[in-house]
Amino acid sequence: MMSRQMSQEQVSPGQPGGSMMPMASSPLDRISALENIEKDIATVLQSGGQALTELSKDKPMNKQVEQHVNQFLKTLQNVETELSKQINYLTQVSTGQAHEGSSYNAQKTLQMAMHRMDHAKTRVLELDHSKTKHMHTLHQHSALKQQGQQQ
């Protein structure tokens, strides 16, 4: 667990790069990534509000407006990127593609195996019934033949 924590890069929300984190594999990591996206969305709203507040002043300071707008754009870009990763993950899981952490593919494989097993059982029962019928007919034919020889 220690090595996984060390391998993940986390940048605090609000900094350029926002909540950049490798695509998490466990549900808790994905929830954490979504929480970081949520924090970045709050930062986007705050930066946008600060830029508008500065612009609404009688004498807005262009440098501050520019800083707020740049922060807004960088964080918004990060939100888009991270949300796209989450959407791609959900798309993979919902379409049944093999994906780490998803049991859909294994469930589908098991379901198909059970269906094949049921079909094989049905076929074996049909063959057993056919064999029994054939053996009964053969036994009757043999009995009739023996009766014919005795007379």
pLDDT value, residue 15: 43
Neighbouring CB atoms inside 10 A of 92's CB total 15
Block means of pLDDT (10 residues each) for the chain, 151 residues, are: 37 42 68 94 94 92 93 94 90 68 78 91 91 90 84 72
- Three-state SS at 109: helix
- Three-state SS at 75: helix
Residue type at position 16: P
pLDDT value, residue 10: 39
CATH number, domain 1-102: 1.10.287
How do the domains of the chain map onto residue ranges?
Answer: 1-102, 104-151
pLDDT value, residue 8: 38
